[in-house]
Amino acid sequence: MTSKVFWGSPHQTQLDAKQTLPAKLDLILEKLELRQRVKGHRVAIKVHLGNDVGYSTVHPVLVRRVVEAVKEGEGKPFVTDLAHSEATAPMRGYTAETIGCPIYPSTGFDEKWFVTHPYKYRQMEEFQLGGAIEEATFLIDLSHVKGHPSCSYAGAIKNLALGCVTGETRSAMHDVCNYEPAFIKENCPDEKTRVAIRESCPYGGIVDDKEDPDGLHLHYINCNQCMICQDVAGSALVIDRESFMAFLKVNVIATKLVLDTFEPGNAVFINVANTLTPVCDCFGFTGLPVLPDAGVFGSNDIIAIEQATLDATDATSIMEKTFPAA
Ligand code: SF4
């Protein structure tokens, strides 16, 4: 099966407003026939509104283009994101006046507006999905593409997976990497070896276990699987591929649960791949981009849009001079 992905290049051959990203986004919305599909629908536009002084999230000008298209199609749009991002959104330029529709926290002002979906994965038994998502009948997943310390790439999937759930679920999702203990205490002969294992990692990936003075904790976001520690640790420290993959898998599970709340065909995906920073917008600041802008993408297929975005970024070179030191 093949799916269409519409792409607006970041490049301009003329200094003309028709060649800018907002104009290209308009063309993509036309190609997706968004106006014809949203009539009467309560349309959730899921945007990460960022945190603190970050300014690399999807620009309010682009959000407004999507909002206006929904209104022209006689849909009822609202923008939604995590409660803490919604609460501080005006300081980053997102208000009902600037974007043209209300902004609601996806799980309510106090994270008490959710529906529980039983689903067993590692230590997780359930996922709490936001009421704003559950009550919407059409979804626009409007994502800023960037890097992420745990899953490397963050776009359409991660925008839904972590932005439509309660803090309790989000925290549990981040913890699935630690389901199996990395440090096997019985295989560590003594305290001297335990300390040597901790000190062997050049990236700060191994730290003391806060809950166990005789233990060690593996920080998956710091570990790059170089395996240097294995010379010292042997069987006392397990660098397990499955634990690294767990965060990716739990993102896919949460995204599927979100999408399953919508009728087939009632979801559209837009990736804005500009200001490609190394870490996600939750960090509360904007680092220098590490890849050149790749433009704007639109599709009805979440897998196709992620693949197309990855292919486009893969075709460019890392901007080594702006890459932060390890
Ligand atoms: S594999 Fe490398 S980065 Fe990971 S904990 Fe061991 S030494 Fe650190």
What are the b/e assignments for 190-227, b being 16+ CB within 10 Å? eeeebeebbebbeeebbeeeeeeeeebbbbbeebeeee
Q: How far is the CA of 174 from the centre of ligand 1 (A)?
A: 19
Token reading at 67 = 């909002």
Q: Which domain holds residue 201?
A: 181-239
In terms of domains, do 208 and 225 share one?
yes
131-to-115, 203, 256, 302 alpha-carbon distances in Å: 6, 40, 16, 22
User: In this predicted model, what pLDDT tens digit does every residue of 33-43 receive, in sequence order?
Assistant: 999 999 999 99
**Which of 239, 262, 288 is at the close of a domain?**
239
**Average pLDDT for residues 48-65, to the nearest whole number?**
96
Q: What is the structure's pLDDT at 19?
A: 96
The pLDDT tens digits of the residues spanning 216-233 come to 999 988 898 899 999 999
pLDDT digits (tens, 9 = 90+) for 101-135: 999 999 999 999 999 999 999 999 999 999 999 99
CB burial of 116-127 (b: ≥16 within 10 Å; e: otherwise) equals: ebeeebbebeeb
With bands split at pLDDT 50, 70 and 90, how would you rate the model's confidence at 263? very high
Tell me how many domains the chain contains: 2
Kindly list the distances between the CA atom of residue 213 and the CA atoms of 22, 132, 186, 207, 278, in Å, as whole numbers in the listed order. Answer: 55, 43, 14, 11, 33
Domain boundary among the residues 190, 222, 239 is at 239
The answer on 162 and 194 residing in a single domain is no
Judge if 171 and 210 occupy the same domain. Answer: no
What end-to-end distance do the CA atoms of the chain give, in Å? 41
Say if residue 232 is in the same domain as residue 252. Answer: no
Predicted confidence at residue 149, as pLDDT, reads 83
Residues 111 and 217 in one domain: no
Looking from the CA of residue 226, the nearest atom of ligand 1 is 2
Q: Would you state the pLDDT for residue 170? A: 97
Mean pLDDT of 46-64: 96
Within this chain, do residues 94 and 142 fall inside the same structural domain, yes or no? yes
Are 158 and 134 in the same domain? yes
Cα–Cα distance between 254 and 282 in angstroms, integer? 18
- pTM of the predicted structure, to 2 decimals: 0.94
Ligand 1 geometric centre to CA of 312 (Å): 30
- Per-residue pLDDT tens for 266-318? 999 999 999 999 888 888 999 899 999 999 999 999 999 999 999 999 999 88
Q: Would you say residue 325 has pLDDT above 80?
A: no
**Res 326 pLDDT > 60:** no
State which of 195, 215, 239 marks the end of a domain: 239
Is 209 found in the same domain as 191? yes
Nearest residue CA, atom 8 of ligand 1? 201
Q: Is the CB of 206 under 6 A from ligand 1?
A: yes
Which domain CATH number covers 116? 3.40.50.11440
**Same domain membership, residue 259 and residue 143:** yes
CATH value at residue 228: 3.30.70.20
Asked if the model's pLDDT at residue 321 lies above 90, the reply is no
- pLDDT at res. 204: 93
Relative to beta strand 267-273, strand 138-144 is: parallel
Residue 225 CB less than 6 A away from ligand 1: yes
The residue contributing the CA closest to ligand 1 atom 4 is 223
Is 188 found in the same domain as 103?
Answer: no
pLDDT score for 125: 98
CA of 70 to the centre of ligand 1 (A): 48
Are residues 81 and 168 located together in one domain of the fold? Answer: yes
**Contact between 221 and 150 (Cβ < 8 Å):** yes
* pLDDT at res. 236: 97
The confidence band for 98, taking pLDDT boundaries of 50, 70 and 90, is very high
Inter-axis angle of helices 302-314 and 156-163, nearest 10: 120
Specify the residue with its C-alpha closest to ligand 1, atom 2: 226
pLDDT tens figures, 160-192: 999 999 999 999 999 999 999 999 999 999 999
Distance CA 307, CA 309 (A): 5
Q: Is the CB of 226 under 6 A from ligand 1?
A: yes
Considering the domain architecture, whether residues 292 and 151 belong to the same structural domain is answered as yes
Whole-number percent of the chain with pLDDT over 70: 99
Average pLDDT over the chain, rounded to whole? Answer: 95
